[in-house]
Amino acid sequence: MALAHPHIDVETMMLIARLNLDDIERLELSQKGKGRIGLPLTDAQLARQAQAKVFKDTIRDVEDYILACSLDRALQSDHGYLVALYAIERGERDDHESALALSQGNPLSPPSRFQRTLETISLP
């Protein structure tokens, strides 16, 4: 993800967005009850709403980025296990198909590469 400010770490970016959003919310609370009901929003109110949306979107984007990075690290660290588990599952499926063929009197095909892997596999 290309962050708006590539030289700012995600924690700092999140802090900046949250503090600015807090400031906007405090300002909005201090302005409540001072306007007339039914009048259109002032330019300042519209600007604060737009800016609040930008900061909320930034917070959501940074949270998504943090989650994506976490998932990426998990996939990288678990890659060996995932490959081994896939090979085990495929080998077991091939064994099952061989057992069915044998039970039906059909000739056995040579062991698949996954069945051969089951004989030597070790988890990382």
pLDDT for 114-123, tens place per residue? 988 888 877 6
DSSP state for residue 7 in the 8-state scheme: T
DSSP state for residue 3 in the 8-state scheme: -
Rounded alpha-carbon distances, angstroms, from residue 117 to 48, 80, 122: 62, 14, 9
Kindly report which listed range (3-7, 30-34, 77-81, 87-91) carries the lowest average pLDDT score: 3-7
Give per-residue pLDDT as tens, 36-68: 777 898 899 899 999 999 999 999 999 999 999
Give per-residue pLDDT as tens, 58-94: 999 999 999 999 999 998 999 888 888 898 899 999 9
pLDDT of residue 30: 87
Judged on CB neighbours under 10 Å (0-12, 13-18, 19+), 66 is middle
